[in-house]
């Protein structure tokens, strides 16, 4: 488990915006990575609603957001 501020390992993954490669994004601007435990669960819904509700706070910091 990573803690806030820890460096994420380099990875490639599918996203809602197509394939992403973390190495391609490093050094450009802050990056927000959001993972959740499983679709269709109360925890997932609560977590992702909190992310949605904090969208303006993320935007103020100018990150790349990938889902």
Catalytically annotated residues: 44
The CA-based diameter of the chain, rounded to the nearest angstrom, is 35
Q: Would you say the C-alpha torsion 3, 35, 59, 49 has a positive or negative sign?
A: negative
In this structure, what token pair is assigned to residue 16? 């809602």
| Residue 9 to residue 40: CA distance in whole angstroms | 27
């Amino acid at each position: 488990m990573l803690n806030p501020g820890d460096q994420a390992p380099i990875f490639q993954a599918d996203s809602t915006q197509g394939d992403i490669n973390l190495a391609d994004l490093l050094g450009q601007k802050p990056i927000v990575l959001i993972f959740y435990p499983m679709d269709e669960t109360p925890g997932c819904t609560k977590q992702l609603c909190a992310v949605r509700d904090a969208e303006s706070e993320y935007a103020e910091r100018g990150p790349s957001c990938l889902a």
